[in-house]
Structures are given as C-alpha cells and as structure tokens.
Amino acid sequence: MKDNYQLVIIGGGPAGLAAATTAANQGVCCALLDEQPTLGGQIYRAIESIPKQRTQQLGDEYTRGKPLVTAFRESDTEYYPETKVWSLNKQREIGVLYKDEARIIQADQVIVASGAMERPIPFKGWTLPGVMQAGAGQILFKSAGVVPDNGVVLAGSGPLLLLLAWQYLHAGVDVKALLDVTPLSNHLLALPKLPKALLAHHYLTKGIGYQIELKRAGIPLLFGVSDLRAEGEGYLQKVSFKHFGKQKNIESELLLTHFGVIPHAWLTQSADCKHQWDDSQQCWRPEHDEWGNTSLDGIIVAGDGAGIHGARSAEHAGRLAGLEALFALGIISQTERNKQGIQDRKWMKDERYIRPFLEAYFKIPQSLLATADNDTIVCRCEEVTAGQIRDAVKKGHDNSNQVKFFTRCGMGSCQGRQCSNAVAHIVADEKGESVEKMGHFRGRPPVAPLTLDQLACLNKELI
C-alpha cells in the first residue's frame, strides 16, 4: 500500500467496483479499500466463490454482480481486501487498518461507496438471541449457504422480506409466516406515486410474482400487523403480534426482521460532509450533486451510502463518480465527462422511477421509529431504554448529542449505528419537533474501534 494515490475508493460493492474500473481504465493510479475479504459488497456478497446451485436459489438479480467484479479484476486498481477505514477528513487523509496496523494514506480524490445498512428499529425483545436482521439471514445464505433449519418468522416492512422469503422457499426452508407491519394507510398514500413507478414496472411485477409464489406454497402472508414483540427466557421462543386487533403468537426460535435500509454514512459524517434529513427515505444522507460531489472538495459519494436507490442505480452512480474523479484530476475535460456519462445518467434516472412509490408504500410508521414502549432497549450496546431517553429529554437535554452525553446511549462499540435514528426520533417526538432539528450523533474518528496497539503503528519510532 502506497502513502499517496490519485484516487482512493472506499467500498467494494457495485458503486465502488464501477467507480474504480472507470477511473483505472483511463490511467488513474487508484486503490480500492474494502472491509470484506471478497468483492461484491453485501448485495453481491461471495459472487466469485458461490456454488452454482446456490446462485439459482438467490435469483437473477444477484448474478448482475459477476460482470462488475470481472471488469474490476481486469482493471489496474490496487485492491485491498480486509482493510478497515477508520477515519476520513477534509484534507482527504484516510485512516486505514491494514494487516492489523493503522496507517494514514493521502488521496487527491476520494470516492466513498460505503453502502447501506439495515434500518435498526428497536422493538420489545429485539436484543434476544434468535432475533436477527433479514439482511443477516441473506448474508449467511450468500456467503456460507447457511439457512434456518428449524423454521423462521419474517417480519417488518420492505421488499427485502419478500425476496428473502422467496429465496428461502427455493432453498427448502420452512417460512412459518411473513408478518408485514406496513400500515395499510400507506397503500393509499403511495397510490399517486404509482404511475411513475410503472416506468420501472419490472420491479413491481417481480414483487407481485414473489407474493403469488409464496401464497401458492402456502406461506401465510399477514398484512396490517402491529405490536410486534419477541418473547422468551434468555432466547427467542415466540413472536407475538396483533393482526387486525387480534392478539396472536407464533412459536419460533428464529425471527428475521427488516424495516428498510439507510445509508451507512458514518465516514462522511465524521469527515464533516454536510448531511441532510431525507424525509421520504426517513434517513440522514450526505448532500451531493448529480456527480456525487459532497460539500467537501475532492470527496465524492456513490451508491446507497449517498441515499438509497438500490444496487443497479449504485452501479451507474459509481461510474459517474469515477468520471467526476477523472475530471477533477484533470484527466478528462468537462465535455468529455458529460459525454461519457450520458448513458449512465439516463439509466440511473430510469432506475429511480420506482423509488418514490416504494418509499411511500413502505414508509415506517412513527410508532415504530420513535419506540413507543418505554421498557424497550434502544441502545443495544449500553442497554439504554426508550424510557431513559425520554427522561433525559424531560430533564432538559434537547437534542440527540445531549441525550448521548447524559445517558451513554450511542457510546458503545457500535458507536451509535444501531440507535442514532431511534434516539433522534424519540427526542423529536418528546419535544414535538422535527427529526431534522434533533440532529444526528456527531461522528468522530475512529469510526470503527481500534486498539491502542494498532493505533500506535502510526508512529513506529515511538514504540
């Protein structure tokens, strides 16, 4: 690993792969840093090593990752797997943990393609062993062929639940039920956005197709579910919920939940790029222009880390970010950038027609965002409950960061990744203010835990 690069790309998912390939193929000296040992991000995880039969069970969208990875391998990008990025600042100094040693590298341009993470929604019992996120189930499936062996309940809201149920069905997994907590009133609210969504109708037909197949297979799909709870002594034993006002239980040792995804924006937040609250996507995301430029010179974002638009869109955004870096480095002219970007800009626009409909249809209700039940743990690391957060607000701590100082909520090893949004919503709810005003936790380096041993490698002469 060198000390200086013209371009550093952070993240090996579709956006990062496309950005690196675009830039490297036009002669840029670039490095791609990725935390995982294999390429593809979470969406195309293990795409290079997966057995063929498992690819079929995962569906055709998954195989789109293959040409992306192949093109990247053929490019001259320096690829650093198992490399953790723990810091980024406006001078574009990147704190990296590589082979268990911390170091700082400098880049003229940085493309942050950090991807998405599941939106954490605290609910009663979500910390019990046996409760996991749906994305976790999918990662186990893709990366290791590991699937539930004693049945599973899927619950939450969003297209991933249907996809995962379909994938499990094809792998012979017993899906006990799919509990959809999407408020039925969303259907009506999403209706005006439907005509535009029809321009990307392949997503809609796919979703409907999954539903039909699941129903035919006899999997109970319950809509209008509320009051989701995970119950059990020490481990999950049953999932309880209300369905049209009626209390129901399903015995299960495994519950996979999904409430949409949000940008994994910790790095751009700690670099102090400007972030804005996106009301439609219900998340914070870095402000950026159509090429991915953030408020900081030379820091470009691409893919779901810039705002949730899905894997295909990420690929186009990655290419555009790569072109922007080429332009910023003086390798191509603005005219050339615009010319080379025409096709991807068009495709990206086409991809995004579906989003406003999906965002309205799967809008998470306030009662889930702002954890209604006061006994529910919100901060998994420091075990702080919604009630303790509300108490802190009542005592005069009136934004997310003050609540963090007072309660330790968000100060554990995940550094607030799991509770940041919920805290902002609870404080906003309590104060009768907008979430935007409550702010997000202040991100600070290192954004990933480092040991002093590792950090000391920055100056070996001192050791």
Partner 1 sequence: MFKQLPATDLETVRVIVNGQSISVTKGMTVAATVLSQQQKYTRTTAISGSKRAPFCMMGVCYDCVMVINGKANQRACATYVEEGMQIEIQQGAGSDLVGNEL
Q: Which residues bind partner 1 (CB under 8 A)?
A: 35, 37, 42, 49, 51, 53-54, 117-118, 120, 127-133, 135-137, 139-140, 143-150, 171, 234-235, 253-254, 264, 380-383, 412-414, 417-418, 449
**Facing residues of 7 across strands?**
30, 109
CA 376 → CA 117, 157, 229, 368, 415, distances in Å?
21, 20, 10, 11, 19
Nearer to partner 1, 42 or 313 (CB): 42
Give the contacts of 214 (CB within 8 A, at least 6 positions apart): 162, 165, 166, 169, 175, 178, 221
Nearer to partner 1, 332 or 414 (CB): 414
Asked if residues 341 and 320 have their Cβ atoms less than 8 Å apart, the reply is: yes
Nearer to partner 1, 234 or 396 (CB): 234
Asked if residues 325 and 23 have their Cβ atoms less than 8 Å apart, the reply is: yes
SS3 at position 10: strand
Smallest gap, in angstroms, from Cβ of residue 196 to partner 1? 31
Smallest gap, in angstroms, from Cβ of residue 172 to partner 1? 8
Smallest gap, in angstroms, from Cβ of residue 45 to partner 1? 9
Nearer to partner 1, 200 or 447 (CB): 447
Smallest gap, in angstroms, from Cβ of residue 412 to partner 1? 7
Nearer to partner 1, 125 or 439 (CB): 125
Using CA atoms, how far apart are residues 309 and 317, in angstroms rounded to an integer? 10
* In the block, residue with structure tokens 């320096």: 78
Smallest gap, in angstroms, from Cβ of residue 380 to partner 1? 6
Pairing of strands 175-180, 221-222: parallel
Nearer to partner 1, 230 or 325 (CB): 230
Using CA atoms, how far apart are residues 350 and 310, in angstroms rounded to an integer? 12
**Cα first-last separation, the chain:** 22
Smallest gap, in angstroms, from Cβ of residue 146 to partner 1? 5
According to DSSP, residue 293 is labeled B
Smallest gap, in angstroms, from Cβ of residue 139 to partner 1? 4
Nearer to partner 1, 149 or 279 (CB): 149
HSE toward the beta carbon, residue 240, CA cutoff 13 A: 10
Containing 350, the helix (H) or strand (E) segment is: helix 334-352
Asked if residues 175 and 169 have their Cβ atoms less than 8 Å apart, the reply is: yes
Asked if residues 80 and 101 have their Cβ atoms less than 8 Å apart, the reply is: no
